[in-house]
Amino acid sequence: MAESYPSLEIIESLKVKPTDGEIYLLKYLIENFSNDYEVYFQPFLNGDMPDIILVRRDYGVIVLEVKDWLLENYIIDYKNSWHLKKNDQSVKSPFQQAFGYKSNMFDLHISGLAEKNVLNKNVYNIIKPFVYFHTASPSDIKNIFRAAEEKLISEININNQNFRNGVIEFEKYENKRIYLDQKAKQIRRDKGMSLVRENLDIKILKELVHGNKLFTDDIYFEFRRYLKPPMHVADKGRDIRYGTKQLRLTESKENSFQKIKGVAGSGKTTVLAKRAVNAHKRHGGKVLILTFNKTLRNYIRDKISDVRDNFSWGAFAILNYHSFIASQLNSCGIEIAPPEDCPISKLSSYFNELYSNTNLFESHNSSISKFKTILVDEIQDYQSEWIEIIKKYFLDTDGEMVLFGDESQNIYNRDLDSDKSIKIKGFGSWERLTKSYRAKEESSLLLMFNDFQKTYLLPKYDLDSIDSKPTQLSLEFDIIRGFDLSKKAEEQIDIICSNILKIIKENEIHPNDICILSGNINLLRSIDKNLRELLNEETITTFEKEEVYQELHAKIKNLVNGRRKCEGFKNNAEKAKCEHLVKMEIEKTMEYELKKLRDSKKFSFEQNSGHMKLSTTHSFKGIEAPFVIYIASGNDSEEVTYTSITRSKKDLVVFIEKNNKYFDFFQNHNSIKFNKIELTNRSTGLAEARR
């Protein structure tokens, strides 16, 4: 018998009973598969709850969406969209739901899968999604897809005829051809993913009967970590000394609404972590923790791990807002696909409007799983509508909701109240944390942070001064002026890297303590490649490595060229149009794939990996490091610059051009040791690294 998590006995006693289809499939899998198969019922994957997941070590994973639908009540159009027959109401395709869970495993849940998939597209096949239709027969499956297949053939013929007759231009024809070809593949795919009682043996066993070398042990155990979350024991925590106000704010209370603001380093995330644990201990339910910054997930998890208490990791869902909403839309079966004619330039505004729609879940409100505690970090990044959506649809009747933030880090320029505070209603007055624990109380860092606030941010925001006892130059840190050269930073990669290397070696800085920040990903990617070569060490980044970037671009280029076949056109004008389309599609596809890859890198970003870290300021916001190297840009706002420098706990190095508007501040600040950059070349740096 297959291993079941939880046991069938527990599943049948759940408050929310499984459907007939779920019970039948569970019993079938448990009774007909050997004990090297693992069956997980509705596992809580950081917000996602797929119906059933089947895992076999060394073989792979199957995601099963279960539907007790009568297929005669549904139709599928040629666009592979599902509708109710009686009123033509659109419903989300169950196959899209299953693929949504699979996609999230790659992009959100399972660390490293997205990058492995870029390097080897076959990795995507280690997870197989299926939809089980409990009441359907094989003929029902054929019938529901037949009309879509016939209509699709008709659309393909019409498109070809219109082009031959000169009714449509080449670009419109070519785009429609690609679109219809994709829909044909999707329909064939979905038809093959359909399970009914009669074909369970054939299809499921076929997928997990042969070993898969790509489903390595590291991937398997990462799946296990999420599917069967371990217990955290008090002995794994550390002794944290909370301030009086901090300790009071960690108390979890029923029917409570609070907002807490704090200066950089005031321990907001430490308070959040302790409150999350206290909340779970109080009510025994799940706690939702939301951020805007994807990279914060593992940092918050580390802070929770520091808490001395016993709890299951399955009690916490830690996600950024957009990922959480997307997962909930998928679970509810709400269609979120943009209109077919929506240009790529409008996609961002389409999704922003969608995710800000306060009636988004109205028709599913009664069926949504609620949380008794919701904690939101970095609230200054949130739009007011997002808070309303979370509170309205996902907070339990007697639940608590607490917001944490700092308006001086308002890098997205969100709306403020008339008193220059973050615009939030219904959460009472602000609780304020003004003492910074990030640097020593006598550190010159705190003096500099305060002075930067006064100089650049005070006119904009209702700011709290950081409690400090500054001294004269404390020798706690150096500010190293980057380059007052005529060329831009990206043209001085070798010089920047050589000087970074010199600073690291002279000060004997451990790689785990270092984070390099910039607003320019291309610059960071080049610096990362150079430093890895100089140091012969791995790094942790919130973006793709240069090698991965180049490989991804080559693969996309080959894929698009293979699909478009421009060399087949004898007419030079048509060939030129085709080549232009190829170029645009490569750029569009590259942008899409890079976003997915970067999101995955951010979600798996480990603060304490033992390696040097490189990140954009936006991705590192809310996190801290003992030694921060900030490469300033002339485009950086006051908020971005302040956020960058306040990531440091002890040592701060700033590379800044002489014409930067913040140059004089750093050069003239009396607590800062300001040095000129040494024009060390790369070969010298390499020689030093080898010593």
User: Which uninterrupted H or E stretch holds 194?
Assistant: strand 194-195
pLDDT score of 685: 46
The confidence score (pLDDT) of residue 568 equals 65
Q: Distance (Å, rounded) from C-alpha 10 to C-alpha 39?
A: 14
Strands 82-84 and 90-91: antiparallel
Residue 541 host element (H or E): strand 539-541
Taking the chain (691 residues) in runs of 10, the rounded mean pLDDT of each run is: 90 87 94 92 85 93 95 92 89 91 85 80 91 94 92 93 88 84 92 90 76 90 85 83 90 93 83 95 94 88 92 89 89 75 66 87 86 93 90 94 80 59 76 72 73 83 57 45 60 86 88 93 94 91 92 86 70 79 84 86 86 94 90 88 89 85 82 56 47 51
Nearest Cα residue to 49 out of 286, 391, 208 = 286
Burial 55-81 (b: 16+ CB within 10 A, else e): bbeebbbbbbbbbebebeebebebbbb
List, in order, residues 6 or more apart from 664 with CB less than 8 Å away. Answer: none
d(CA 106, CA 597): 9
Burial class (CB in 10 A: 0-12, 13-18, 19+), 600: buried
Token pair, residue 177, equals 């051809």
- Give the pLDDT of residue 345: 60
pTM > 0.85:
no
Identity of the amino acid at 193: M
Q: What is the pLDDT of residue 476?
A: 47
State the pLDDT at residue 689.
46
Q: Report the b/e string of 162-195 with b at 16+ CB within 10 A.
A: ebeeeebebeebbebbeebeebbebbeebbebbb
**Half-sphere exposure at residue 679, Cβ-oriented, CA atoms within 13 angstroms:** 3
The pLDDT of residue 254: 93
Which class for 154: exposed (0-12), middle (13-18), buried (19 or more C-beta within 10 A)?
A: exposed
The residue count for the chain: 691
The DSSP line for 349-381 is: HHHHHHHT-TTTTGGGGGGSPPEEEEEESSGGG
Look up residue 640 and give its two tokens.
């971005």
CB-based contact 281:473 (threshold 8 Å): no
Q: Which own/partner contact pairs does 69-75 have at CB distance under 8 Å and 24+ positions apart?
A: 69/94, 69/133, 69/135, 69/136, 70/135, 71/133, 71/135, 71/136, 71/140, 71/141, 71/143, 71/144, 72/140, 74/144, 75/144, 75/147
Structure-block tokens of residue 499: 């000087």
Residues 6+ apart with CB under 8 A from 585: 560, 564
**pLDDT, position 532:** 93
What is the distance in angstroms between the CA of the first residue and the CA of the last residue of the chain?
Answer: 59
Structural contact between residues 651 and 477, judged by C-beta atoms closer than 8 angstroms: yes
Helix 572-603 vs helix 170-192: angle between axes, to the nearest 10 degrees?
Answer: 50
